[in-house]
Amino acid sequence: METISQPETIKLGSNGPAVPPLGIGTWAWGDKLFWNYGKDYDEAQLRDAFNAALAAGVNFFDTAEIYGFGESEKLLGQFIKEVNQPVQIATKYIPLPWRFSGDAVAEALSASLKRLQLPSVPLYQVHMPFDFFMGQETLMNALADEVQQGRIGAIGVSNYSAEQMRKAYDLLAKRGVPLAVNQMQYSLLGRSIEKNGVMDAARELGITILAYSPLSQGLLTGKYTPENYTAPTGARQIDPRFSRSGLEKIAPVVNLLTQIGQKHGRTPAQVALNWLVAQGNVIPIPGAKNASQAKQNAGAIGWRLDAEDVAQLDVATQTLNS
């Protein structure tokens, strides 16, 4: 295992803001619909998670206006106010059918910044590739206006196919603004961006991939096993991947993560996240609901898996992703 002495940062896209090579996802912060916020964990645990991430050198957080219907941004805003440290926030605009003029983007961003209690954010992403009546050209122009006004440092998209990403890139290029990020589902158990052209096009165009659900919503942490079966909380209870047979299918991967982790003194989650970093041009944004998860996930960077570990994990997950 190679350790990295300097705390690295990575530029988002070709000339975007520099952030740590891993961020913390905050979908679960305030979200009752999918994640059971308020029942299984609360604000105090999330504050601890926030502070633990900062203490471990990770000050990059991903949120969205839709998470907890604004609650995730509000909690982050509160936590940021309580500390005296620079924090970098990526948030997201959600295209809704009734948002049909460019002004809707400015209004949504104003509301997000108000909840976050910030004058600007380093990254603003379009949550999904729908544009309804607005159209991508109006949308991208409205975002480019915000870069020029300094309320956002860089523009990202999310869940955009290779073709949609190229179109957004071209529209922004006309305004002299690079597309910095495409936030996509990417993990050892979800490798479709390697095959559908997104990964290649992102490399070609200098667009950074933010990998969401990088732990497969907990499956890659080693916490869920067929032997000591525990049902996950929230909406994951109806996800067949978390059933006993679903867990049996991925047990060889979890065992391999555990084995490689033992060699390096790391947890399965840390190995799974480090594998993503090893792909290059990828920043994982694992979710964390408490201090221990935030600390553990932050410990996924600052060291490198051996090339043979990376290759072994690659082979072990090929068939699960075909």
Ligand X SMILES: NC(=O)c1ccc[n+]([C@@H]2O[C@H](COP(=O)([O-])OP(=O)(O)OC[C@H]3O[C@@H](n4cnc5c(N)ncnc54)[C@H](OP(=O)(O)O)[C@@H]3O)[C@@H](O)[C@H]2O)c1
Residue 127 beta carbon to ligand X: minimum distance, rounded to whole angstroms = 6
Amino acid at 97: P
Of residues 17 and 287, the one with the C-beta less far from ligand X: 287
How far apart CA 21 and CA 12 sit, in angstroms, is 10
- Closest contact distance (angstroms) between CB of 30 and ligand X is 11
186 an active-site residue? no
Burial class (CB in 10 A: 0-12, 13-18, 19+), 186: buried
Residues 6+ apart with CB under 8 A from 275: 188, 305, 309, 310, 313
Contacts of 278 (CB under 8 A, 6+ apart): 304, 305, 310
Q: Which of 95, 109, 102, 169 is nearest to 142 (CA)?
A: 102
Which residues would be at the binding site for ligand X (CB under 6 A)?
Answer: 25-28, 62, 127, 158-159, 183, 212-218, 221, 223, 232-233, 269, 285-289, 293, 296-297
For 279, other C-beta atoms within 10 Å of its C-beta total: 17
User: Whole-number minimum distance, CB 310 to ligand X, in Å?
Assistant: 19
Choosing from 37, 41, 67, 212, the catalytic residue is 67
Those residues with Cβ within 8 angstroms of residue 83's Cβ, 6 or more apart along the chain or in another chain = 51, 54
Name the minimum Å distance from CB 137 to ligand X. 22
By beta-carbon proximity to ligand X, the closer residue of 4 and 235 is: 235
* Residue placing its CB nearer to ligand X in the complex, 38 or 149: 38
Cα torsion angle, 160, 172, 139, 30, sign: positive
Identity (one letter) of the amino acid at 52?
A
Residue 194 contacts residue 211 (beta carbons within 8 Å): no
Q: Which is nearer to ligand X, 226 or 308 (CB)?
A: 226
Q: What is the DSSP letter of 187?
A: B
Q: Which is nearer to ligand X, 6 or 220 (CB)?
A: 220
Residues involved in catalysis: 67
